Amino acid sequence: MSAKELLARWVAGEPTLRGWRVHVDDTPITMPDGLRRPDILAISPDGAARVAFEVQYSELTGEQWRARHSFYARAGVVDIWLFAHHGPQWRTRAVTGPARQTELAHHDPRWTAAVGLSGLHQAMLQDGVTPLWLDPTARTVGTATARFAPAAPPRRRPSRLVRDPALYVLPPQQDFRACYLEADPLEECRIDLAGGELLTPARARQRLEHERLLGDQEEARERLAALQEQRSRDNDVRRQQEQQRRREKAQAYAAEQEEAQRQADLRARQEQQRRDEERAAAQDRQVVPPLDQYPRLFDVGPAPAPRRRGWWRIRRRRQR
């Protein structure tokens, strides 16, 4: 009741809903398949727009929430859900151990506790709705928050997709079992009719962080595309250089083969010329007499006349 009363006073003074009629537990929303009586219902002066506030303290499953959320959507009513800061919707979890830090993505030493995400909260995250918690005593609204770099690779290496190494402040992922809360004063919150949600300062910061993430990803994709294009150009240049080198090598090889063939032809002609000369010389030798074909080894002159021995030499030999 305190939460409904606080929320009703805030809705009546909210600038976006100024002039709207505020009903607390007394105006049902009727549909052919049934009716729902929201905790607080704000109706525009012309009755064309309606905003329903549900302060959920009791246990609720994800299927039940989806049925109620679908009912409000078919009725054309913006439904905003706020959970209690105690009871079944508030189960704190200590941030200790690597398993808890994995659930919470990146551990922030300033935060020592976190709230567990039930199947209901995970169903809301799957449908794109960020869970909120209301503390009527402190007049604050807690926004489900996680700090992480979705594109960061393991082992703490710098991300190739996201250039900024800083963590992004975004809603938790669908499979998170726990998340952090960022508490903001209720007076600083606003109603976003276009987005269909209660826009807390933390939620506004998440939107900015999401835009920054998309910008970084787009910039990273552009850098990656430019890098791939540059690599493609470099590959084309290297391919052309390789083709040119192969052509030059083929031309050099063809020139070497041509020179080798020319030298072989020259040697063949010389050998054929030598054979022709030898054949002609052999034919000439058959016509010329053998004595004229070959040079004389010794100079042969007229035979010397025999010397006659003197009679005194013969007589002297006989006397001996």
- Is 152 contained in some domain? yes
The span from the CA of 8 to the CA of 90, in Å, is 22
- Is 189 contained in some domain? yes
The residue assigned the tokens 């039930």 is 118
Reported confidence tier of residue 155, pLDDT bands at 50, 70, 90? very low
- Is 270 contained in some domain? no
- Is 263 contained in some domain? no
Residues 50/79, Cβ–Cβ less than 8 Å = no
- Is 206 contained in some domain? yes
Residues 172/128, Cβ–Cβ less than 8 Å = no
Asked whether the predicted pLDDT for residue 151 surpasses 90, the reply is no
- Is 306 contained in some domain? no
Reported confidence tier of residue 179, pLDDT bands at 50, 70, 90? confident
pLDDT digits 0-9 by tens, 70-80: 999 999 999 99
Q: Indicate the helix (H) or strand (E) that contains 124.
A: helix 119-126
Q: Which domain holds residue 87?
A: 2-219
The span from the CA of 67 to the CA of 74, in Å, is 11
- Per DSSP, 168 falls in state E
The span from the CA of 255 to the CA of 249, in Å, is 10
Q: Choose among 49, 47, 48, 79: nearest CA to 66.
A: 79
The span from the CA of 202 to the CA of 145, in Å, is 8
Asked whether the predicted pLDDT for residue 166 surpasses 70, the reply is no
The residue assigned the tokens 């910061």 is 205
Phi, psi of 165 (to 5 degrees): -75, -10
pLDDT digits 0-9 by tens, 200-255: 999 999 999 999 888 888 988 899 999 999 999 999 999 999 999 999 999 999 99
The span from the CA of 78 to the CA of 11, in Å, is 14
Residue 33: exposed, middle, or buried by beta-carbon count in 10 A (0-12, 13-18, 19+)? exposed
Asked whether the predicted pLDDT for residue 6 surpasses 90, the reply is yes
Write b or e for each residue in 196-232: b if 16 or more Cβ atoms lie within 10 A of its Cβ, otherwise e. bbbbbbbbbbbeebeebbeebeeebeeeeeeeeeeee
Q: Specify the pTM.
A: 0.68
In this prediction, residue 296 carries a pLDDT of 65
- Is 212 contained in some domain? yes
Q: Choose among 120, 46, 108, 49: nearest CA to 83.
A: 120
The domain tally of the chain equals 1
In this prediction, residue 31 carries a pLDDT of 85
- Is 253 contained in some domain? no
The span from the CA of 188 to the CA of 139, in Å, is 10
The span from the CA of 159 to the CA of 164, in Å, is 8
The span from the CA of 21 to the CA of 44, in Å, is 7
In this prediction, residue 162 carries a pLDDT of 43
Torsion of CA 98, 102, 105, 106, to 10 degrees: 10
Q: Where are the beta strands (DSSP E) in 162-281?
A: 168-170, 178-185, 190-192, 197-199
